[in-house]
Structure 1
Amino acid sequence: MKKILMIGTGGTIASRATSNGLDPQMTLDEILTYIPDIAKICDVDTIQICNIDSTNISPEHWIMLVNTIRENYDKYDGFVICHGTDTMAYTAAALSYMVQNSAKPILLTGAQKPINKESSDSKINLFDSFLYATFDGTSGVQIVFNGKVILGTRARKTRTKSFQSFSSINYPYLAVIQDGHIIQYINLAKAEAPVFYDTLNTKVGLFKLTPGAEADVLSYMLERNDAVIIESYGVGGIPSMPQYHYLEVIQDWIAKGKTVVMTTQVPNEGSDMNVYKVGYNLKSKVPILEAYDMITEAVVCKLMWILGQTKDPEKIKKLFYTTISNDILY
């Protein structure tokens, strides 16, 4: 049987009810007692790197995960990470950039209800994850949740309570898992050896454009970060009426070496700044980057990874538009 390393970070799946709400308290060994059938499909070892609500997940935890996977990579056939759902998509995206070209599966899963609850989705999500981890056709970073396998750079939490928590944005599901059967739609190419990264620059901000928002807020964020993502409306653009001065702010800060990326608040289909004048004028006057079909979670994590490697604007641009784990296909 294949050997799988189960890595614990906490989350709802490991939570117990307390007088103050759900709190991660269960160990991985406790969790595994609820799913004895996993022992029939693979050998499992466990490592608990933390036991926290995923609201508390930070880039430091991503580095811990990468180091754990790197230190154990040659010992196991795959990895299953138990993680809270709130930031799971960010962690999946981060690992996609920090562990590139993995021929072995690195799967994230969790649950909307704790595993000790009668109606929990925990048991099926975990079993599906281990089943998929032993499948010969899988490699790289993915989320396995509610019978769906989602590429790590394309996952977004789209429901707060339903078991169908995650959607694949601008990309098909890699596979579905039904009644213990894997139906594989897309086979990813397997690389010979993984490349690990453990350096991130976390000075990446996200500015959500709202009606009446002042450009001074964007300027404040650019002053304190090395890169800022503007999450605009529709296909992307900035307010251009005389009372706004977004163009000047963006021009000034890019001239000072800051990176600015335009993306959209709309979940599907991506940005296209050439469609409207409010986008075209900005893109034609300043060297702003555009996310196109990339999801915000991936843009945030990719910028952290890129800025951890270089500060050169041309290299940043080249890396940003380099497709990694099918994150940008426009």
Structure 2
Amino acid sequence: MKNILFINTGGTISSSAAGKGLTPTQSAADIISAVPEVKEICNVEAMTLMSVDSTNIQPEEWVTIARTVHEQLPSYDGIVIAHGTDTMAYTASALSFMLGALDKPVVITGSQVSVLAEYSDSRKNIKDSFLTASSELSGVFVVFNGKIINGARASKVKTKSYDAFESINHPYIGYLDEDHIVYNEIEPSVYPEGHVYNDQYSPDVFLLKLIPGMRPDIFDAVRNLGYKGIIVEGFGLGGVPFKEINLIDKIEELVQDGISIVVTTQCLYEGGDLTIYEVGQRALEKGVIPCYDMTTEALTTKMMWVLGQANSPAEVARMMATNYVDEITMPILR
């Protein structure tokens, strides 16, 4: 049997009613004791790293989790992390970039209902996660409702239902069928050499969702707050207005000041393409970085991670366009 480390960080899965609503109270050992079949899958050691509602998880906690995984993984065949669902996709993406190329599985899971509840989804998710962590997969994954999702492609799309997570713009890695994993046939990717553990990051990333009528001086306010990177969620394929209200010229000012600006789409599926319409091409001409089909969670955490290492806007643009963990599908040039 394989040796798997279980790390609890909090979230709904470990919550009970105390004080002002549900709050994490259960330890890693408590959760494992509620799912006894796990011990038939593997040898388990349990660790409670923190007990936090994932809404309160910040980039500092990503680093704490990443360092713990990095230190502990050599001693185990895989790791399962219990985490709140609300920011699980952000943590999964951040870990994907920080941990570097892995030769073992790191699985993140949680639940929509506490492990203490009779009809909770937690027991299935925990069991499925340990099956995945005991497999031959390598990398960071979200396991939820019987689905195995690339950690940098997961997104929470429902607030209450058990099928809360989907794989965005990328096939599911596989599915859990009872005690077996059914894998999807996915063409292997070629990753850059030298993607090693690095937990450096910059929190100075701002996400701006465009709405009709938004004033250009919003960019001045963001610049004055000291942000180094801005993610602009444009319309459709990534369009940015330039007529009656001109945001593109203001974006150009910030780019010339050395601020890295990425333009993405507000649409969940199929990604952006700034080359199709004038409202996208004009933004490209001003030096914005296209992000193609990355999720908002992956885009945000990747930009924080890149800004923690890159020494110039050109280096930021190069790293943002690099596919490290299948987080991005680059267009085929014809």
TM-score by length of 1: 0.95
Structure 1 residue 181 displacement after superposition? 1.6
Instruction: Return the alpha-carbon distance in structure 1 between the equivalents of residues 38 and 149 of structure 2.
Output: 21
Structure 1 residue 287 displacement after superposition? 1.1
Alignment of 1:127-166 (within 5 A): 127-136=127-136, 138-166=137-165
Structure 1 residue 193 displacement after superposition? 9.8
Aligned residues: 327
Alignment of 1:19-98 (within 5 A): 19-98=19-98
Structure 1 residue 245 displacement after superposition? 3.1
Corresponding letter in the other structure for 2:250: V
Distance 1:124 1:84, change over 3 A: same
Instruction: Return the alpha-carbon distance in structure 2 between the equivalents of residues 193 and 199 of structure 1.
Output: 15
Corresponding letter in the other structure for 2:210: L
Alignment of 1:212-251 (within 5 A): 212-223=213-224, 224-242=226-244, 244-251=245-252
1:179 maps to what in 2?
Answer: 178
Secondary structure of the residue aligned to 2:223 is: helix
CA contact 2:102–2:138 (8 Å) conserved in 1? yes
Structure 1 residue 41 displacement after superposition? 1.2
Structure 1 residue 18 displacement after superposition? 2.7
Structure 1 residue 222 displacement after superposition? 3.0
CA-based RMSD: 1.7
Secondary structure of the residue aligned to 2:250 is: helix
Distance 1:181 1:193, change over 3 A: farther
Q: Quick check: 122-131 or 318-327, which moved more? A: 318-327
Secondary structure of the residue aligned to 2:49 is: strand
Instruction: Return the alpha-carbon distance in structure 2 between the equivalents of residues 147 and 289 of structure 1.
Output: 35
CA offset digits 1:261-296 (Å, max 9, x no partner): 000110000001122211112212x11101111111
Instruction: Return the alpha-carbon distance in structure 1 between the equivalents of residues 220 and 81 of structure 2.
Output: 38
Instruction: Return the alpha-carbon distance in structure 1 between the equivalents of residues 270 and 169 of structure 2.
Output: 6
Structure 1 residue 49 displacement after superposition? 1.6
Unaligned runs of at least 5 residues, structure 2 = none
Instruction: Return the alpha-carbon distance in structure 2 between the equivalents of residues 208 and 32 of structure 1.
Output: 41
Corresponding letter in the other structure for 1:21: G
Instruction: Return the alpha-carbon distance in structure 2 between the equivalents of residues 189 and 166 of structure 1.
Output: 23
Q: Quick check: 68-77 or 253-262, which moved more? A: 68-77
Structure 1 residue 219 displacement after superposition? 2.5
Unaligned runs of at least 5 residues, structure 1 = none
CA contact 1:103–1:193 (8 Å) conserved in 2? no
Secondary structure of the residue aligned to 1:79 is: strand
Instruction: Return the alpha-carbon distance in structure 2 between the equivalents of residues 141 and 2 of structure 1.
Output: 18
Secondary structure of the residue aligned to 1:10 is: coil
Over the matched positions of the two proteins, sequence identity in percent amounts to 40
1:198 maps to what in 2?
Answer: 199
Distance 1:109 1:316, change over 3 A: same
Structure 1 or 2: more strand by fraction? 1
CA contact 2:29–2:47 (8 Å) conserved in 1? no
CA contact 1:107–1:144 (8 Å) conserved in 2? yes
2:284 maps to what in 1?
Answer: 283
Instruction: Return the alpha-carbon distance in structure 2 between the equivalents of residues 49 and 194 of structure 1.
Output: 26
Structure 1 residue 135 displacement after superposition? 1.2
Instruction: Return the alpha-carbon distance in structure 1 between the equivalents of residues 190 and 104 of structure 2.
Output: 8
Instruction: Return the alpha-carbon distance in structure 1 between the equivalents of residues 296 and 219 of structure 2.
Output: 17
Alignment of 1:300-315 (within 5 A): 300-315=300-315
1:256 maps to what in 2?
Answer: 257
Corresponding letter in the other structure for 1:53: D
Secondary structure of the residue aligned to 1:172 is: coil
TM-score by length of 2: 0.94
Instruction: Return the alpha-carbon distance in structure 1 between the equivalents of residues 50 and 213 of structure 2.
Output: 41
Structure 1 residue 249 displacement after superposition? 1.3
Structure 1 residue 189 displacement after superposition? 7.4
CA offset digits 1:188-219 (Å, max 9, x no partner): 67999972112111100100111111121132
Secondary structure of the residue aligned to 2:50 is: strand
CA contact 1:149–1:176 (8 Å) conserved in 2? yes
2:110 maps to what in 1?
Answer: 110
Q: Quick check: 165-174 or 307-316, which moved more? A: 307-316
CA contact 2:292–2:328 (8 Å) conserved in 1? yes
Instruction: Return the alpha-carbon distance in structure 2 between the equivalents of residues 273 and 194 of structure 1.
Output: 28
